[in-house]
Chains A and B, each alone.
Chain A
Amino acid sequence: MARVRVNGVEEEIAAGTVAELLAARGVDASARFLAVAVNGTVVRRSEWPSRPLSPGDDVEIVRPFSGG
């Protein structure tokens, strides 16, 4: 278990990688238009299965929304 921040909320996760975190949260990693950053750096989609998560990591998972 690791304590990380996911979209601004601190939580304990069992996931070891970005891909596992997405799967655990019910996010379809094959969905288009998703983007992920860890600690202020974008993690490319191809790296999601291999990018490890460590305690204290700050994860942002985003997508496009309506906007002006």
Chain B
Amino acid sequence: MTDALIIAGTALSSRLFVGTAGYPNQQVLLDCLDASGAEIVTVSIRRISLEGYAESLVDLLGGRYRLLPNTAGCATVRDAVLTAELAREALETDWVKLELIGDRETLYPDVEQLVRAAEELVGSGFTVLPYCNEDPVTCQKLADVGCAAVMPLGSLIGSGMGIANPAAIELICSRSSVPVVLDAGIGTASDAALAMELGCDAVLANTAIAKSHDPLRMAAAMRAGVEGGRLARLAGRIPKRRFAEPSSPQLGLIGS
């Protein structure tokens, strides 16, 4: 059964995107990426140390995964656009996970600047996947300016609080003209499964894996959660009802 996720004409075999930050060491990261089955992994773009040049993480990942650079930490359109352009030059990809942060404490997106930056980058030929608020109007605006997908937050980045507003995520999924990748807030495998059951096309997880007690197991759990949630979504859940509905036959009960 093929169930490829297609973003900007590219077929992806895995619906789990995995971030590369915060693992105990590089070997655990590599093992986790392997266990997760991820095809897309995210990286940041940062100033090099002018003190010395060490082997890059990307040297280890390049070729094995599709690297998705982010603009994490950028707070202005100018910085986000320049970071995306540097990423394109460094990684030879026009895909970018666009982050435009409006508040350092909550890391909430600055929607107004985000839409402007997205529009500018789309105009420059980028395939833009914006990290955004879980708000159908914002997601629609981002799709309208040409984003290839939208990445609404489940809850605050790194919080592990799961999907704070499942109704909003479900609404976004039901209306979106582009794939929906749930980003941020995933705490454990059931959160990822829920995202998929609500209709998300993919899930991005990082901290939930990297900071778990056993990252390798959690990477496998996330993979299973995403796959289970996707299958359940395709199968279609039964409607919820207020009262019991016996599953065993009513006839032939002894003593009746």
Contacts and interface: CB of A to CB of B under 8 A. Distances in A.
Contacts of A68: 19-22, 42, 44, 70, 72, 157-158, 204, 206-207
A20 to B, nearest CB: 15
A60 B86 contact: yes
Contact of A45 (B53, B83, B89): B89
Contacts of A34: 48, 90
A7 B50 CA distance: 9
A33 B207 contact: no
B82 interface: yes
A30 to B, nearest CB: 11
A65 to B, nearest CB: 5
Nearest to B84: A42
B37 to A, nearest CB: 18
Interface stretch (B57-65, B113-121, B135-143, B244-252): B57-65
Interface string A51-68: 000000000111111111
B52 A63 contact: no
Nearest to A34: B90
Contact of A42 (B43, B70, B89, B204): B89
Contacts of B90: 33-35, 62-64
A34 B89 CA distance: 8
Interface-central residue, B58, B70, B82, B89, by most chain A CB under 10 Å = B89
Interface-central residue, B22, B29, B86, by most chain A CB under 10 Å = B86
Interface-central residue, A32, A61, A68, by most chain B CB under 10 Å = A68
Contacts of B42: 67-68
B175 interface: no
B24 to A, nearest CB: 12
Nearest to B71: A67
Interface string B150-191: 000000011000000000000000000000000000000000
B69 interface: yes
Interface string B19-43: 1111100000100000000000011
Given A36-B86, A42-B86, A68-B42, 12 more contacts: A9-B50, A27-B48, A32-B62, A37-B85, A62-B45, A62-B48, A63-B58, A66-B20, A66-B29, A67-B70, A68-B20, A68-B204
Interface of A: 6-9, 25-28, 31-37, 40, 42, 44-45, 60-68
24 contacts: A25-B50, A27-B53, A34-B48, A34-B90, A35-B45, A35-B86, A36-B89, A42-B89, A44-B89, A61-B48, A61-B50, A63-B56, A63-B58, A64-B43, A64-B44, A64-B45, A64-B57, A65-B43, A65-B45, A66-B21, A67-B21, A67-B43, A68-B19, A68-B207
Shortest beta-carbon contacts, A-B, top 3: A67-B44, A68-B19, A68-B206
